[in-house]
Structure 1
Amino acid sequence: MSPRGVAITGVRERLFEAAERVLAREGPGALTSRAVTSEAGCAKGLIHNHFADFDDFVAQLVLHRFRQLAEEAAGLPARAGENTVTDNLNTIALALLDSSGPALASLALTRPGATTRIRDAWRDGAPGLGAIEASVAAYLEAEQRLGRVPGTADCATLALTVIGTAHHLLMTTWPGGPDPRERLRHVIASLTAPGSG
């Protein structure tokens, strides 16, 4: 526990990491400001020093995770020609379902105040699924130029299909429920099979 009055560096990231551990271990019903600060080993009121309220914390947690995923996806076009197209698509699509993704989605859906803030942030340009989809489309176009994706393939539609499927599985998966990763791998394998373009 940090001594009172001593500044903690990287507070937001520390709280986000603690929240993700609580979500992964106990699910969205266990996520409270007290659970987060206890997990982070810091003062109970710290969340309220850095966020307007708990809905703001949840919204910023979700936006932070999507920003990280969008940054990861932005590097995808530069990897054209490496590994297989299927492997590269799996890496980015499955990242949406990894860690606490389903629990975060469940949590945001149960907190209308957080959901509204997330939607408003995305409308105002915060990176979200649209940014990830655009990176996947750019990646597929780069692979198309290399001849690893058929020239007749509609890369924008393929990207929408991959990210839309990942989003559907993210929103219909719950902690402790069936693992959706194999279904997503199957969809990507079908989309990238020879002759599917």
Structure 2
Amino acid sequence: MSPRGVATPDVRERLFAAAERVVERDGPGALTSRAVTTEAGCAKGLLHTHFAGLDAFVAELCLDRFARAAGQAQALSRLTGRNTVAGNLDTVVLALLDAAGPALSGLAMSRAASSQRIREAMEGGAPGFRAIEEAITAYLAAEQRLGRVAEAVDPGTAALAIAGTAHHLLMTSWPGAPDPRLSMARLVALLVDGPGPSVRHPDERRPD
């Protein structure tokens, strides 16, 4: 535990990661300022030193994770022509739906003040699903020019379907529900590759 008066390095990320662990393990109802700081192994007042209360903390956590996913989407341009198109997209959209993602979204939705802060930040230009959609559109268009995406695919429509579905799954999933990543992987493959063999999530076991 960090003693009082001693700076904690990377305190925001330390607290964010601790909150994700609490929500994933114990559910959104278990998230309190004390639960976060105890999980992070730091002074109990540290969260309120850096954030204007728990609602502000939850909003900043969600905005940070949306921005991280948007950054991953923008990095897709560096993968143009490499690996598979569906695989490259999976690295972005499945990151949104990791174990803590749906729980954090549910947490934000249950806290009106957090939701309001997130909405205002998005309206002010904070990166989120719109940035993800735009980055996927540009990536699909680039791959289409290389002949790796069929001409029949409209990049903007496909990107909207991918980003919109990811948003829907985040808002309607909860801990213990079926893993939303499988549905997302199937949608990506269908939009990019067209109908074909069923898509199997990497964690799914093949029958003997």
SS of equivalent residue, structure 1 residue 83: coil
Quick one: distance in 2 between partners of 1:100 and 1:77? 27
Quick one: distance in 2 between partners of 1:110 and 1:156? 32
- Counterpart of 2:158, as a letter, is L
Quick one: distance in 2 between partners of 1:9 and 1:187? 40
Instruction: Check conservation: 2:149, 2:193, Cα contact below 8 A.
Output: no
1:75-103 Cα deviation digits (max 9, x unpaired): 10221111111111222111110131000
Which region of structure 1 is more displaced relative to structure 2, 136-145 or 5-14? 5-14
SS of equivalent residue, structure 2 residue 127: coil
SS of equivalent residue, structure 1 residue 76: helix
Instruction: Check conservation: 1:77, 1:140, Cα contact below 8 A.
Output: no
1:41-72 Cα deviation digits (max 9, x unpaired): 11111111111111000000001111111111
Q: Do residues 156 (structure 1) and 160 (structure 2) align? A: no
Q: Which residue in 1 is equivalent to 2:106?
A: 106
Instruction: Check conservation: 2:153, 2:191, Cα contact below 8 A.
Output: no
Q: After TM superposition, list the pairs within 5 Å mapping 1:51-62 onto structure 2.
A: 51-62=51-62
Q: Do residues 144 (structure 1) and 144 (structure 2) align? A: yes
Q: Which residue in 2 is equivalent to 1:87?
A: 87
1:158-193 Cα deviation digits (max 9, x unpaired): 000011111111111101111111111111121122
Q: After TM superposition, list the pairs within 5 Å mapping 1:27-106 onto structure 2.
A: 27-106=27-106
Give aligned-pair identity as a percent. Answer: 59
- Counterpart of 1:176, as a letter, is G
User: Where do 5+ consecutive residues of structure 1 fail to align?
Assistant: none
Superposition TM-score, scaled by structure 2 size:
0.90
Q: Which residue in 2 is equivalent to 1:25?
A: 25
Quick one: distance in 1 between partners of 2:153 and 2:4? 59
1:29-50 Cα deviation digits (max 9, x unpaired): 1111000000011111111111
Summarize the Cα distance change of 1:87–1:32 in structure 2 as closer, same or farther, 3 Å threshold: same
Quick one: distance in 2 between partners of 1:7 and 1:92? 33
Q: Which residue in 2 is equivalent to 1:124?
A: 124
RMSD of equivalent CA atoms: 1.4
Quick one: distance in 2 between partners of 1:168 and 1:194? 22
Report the count of equivalent residues.
196
Instruction: Check conservation: 2:73, 2:135, Cα contact below 8 A.
Output: yes
Quick one: distance in 1 between partners of 2:91 and 2:14? 25
Instruction: Check conservation: 1:78, 1:139, Cα contact below 8 A.
Output: no
- Counterpart of 2:31, as a letter, is L
Quick one: distance in 1 between partners of 2:174 and 2:96? 14
Quick one: distance in 1 between partners of 2:33 and 2:107? 13
Superposition TM-score, scaled by structure 1 size:
0.95
SS of equivalent residue, structure 1 residue 174: coil
Instruction: Check conservation: 2:108, 2:114, Cα contact below 8 A.
Output: yes
Q: Which residue in 1 is equivalent to 2:174?
A: 174
- Counterpart of 2:150, as a letter, is P
User: Where do 5+ consecutive residues of structure 2 fail to align?
Assistant: 197-208
Name segments (4+ residues, structure 1) moved above 2 Å.
Answer: 193-196
Which region of structure 1 is more displaced relative to structure 2, 128-137 or 146-155? 146-155
